[in-house]
Amino acid sequence: MFERILVPTDGSPHATTAIEDAIELAADQDATLHALSVADSGPLGDVRLPGEAANPSEALAERAQGFVDDAVERAEAAGVEATGTIRNGPPSSEILDYAREIDADVIVMGSRGRGGLHRMAVGSVADHVIRFGEFRVLVVDAGEDATDT
């Protein structure tokens, strides 16, 4: 039923739970997992954290690569074929563009991410993906114990 499963990640607890569920689904379906992290360097994207690279875009790309590497490693440890990609731009648009490129069968994503000012200003990434995409979307809630970072 599913051959290509896309799981966007921003390192949040909700994204981590989505990765776990996506890996389980991929294993069950013998599907390939495509992990994606978007380094949003726009005016409302994440800001550089202390100790990170002097170039904010470089710092965001390094963080995004770390999130993708973690997802791919988890999938491979579970015996699931996986690939990882990072993009730069508005997260919801990049998620939908990448899903179209790989012809994703389903997008598995967290109900909330890092959020903050960006979410208040432009709305939920998951909501945008659901409303403006043409894909099946499985939205995962990390539960009451999850705290957004």
Question: What's the CATH code, domain 4-140?
Answer: 3.40.50.620
Predicted model pTM:
0.84
- Mean per-residue pLDDT for 123-140? 91
Domain ranges of the chain: 4-140
Per-residue pLDDT of 53-109, as tens digits, reads 557 778 889 999 999 999 999 999 999 999 999 999 999 999 999 999 999 999 999
DSSP state of 144: T
| pLDDT of the residue at 50 | 54
| Number of continuous H segments (helices) and E segments (strands) in the chain | 5, 5
Per-residue pLDDT of 33-52, as tens digits, reads 999 999 986 654 444 455 55
Question: And the tokens for 99?
Answer: 């899903």
Residue with tokens 């990072």: 86
Alpha carbon separation from 16 to 13, 74, 110, 121, 122 (Å, rounded) = 5, 10, 8, 24, 23
Which residue blocks in 3-124 are alpha helix, DSSP H? 13-29, 56-77, 91-102, 117-122
User: Is residue 135 within 8 Å of 95, Cβ to Cβ?
Assistant: no
Q: What gap in Å lies between CA 125 and CA 119, rounded to an integer?
A: 8
| pLDDT of the residue at 41 | 63
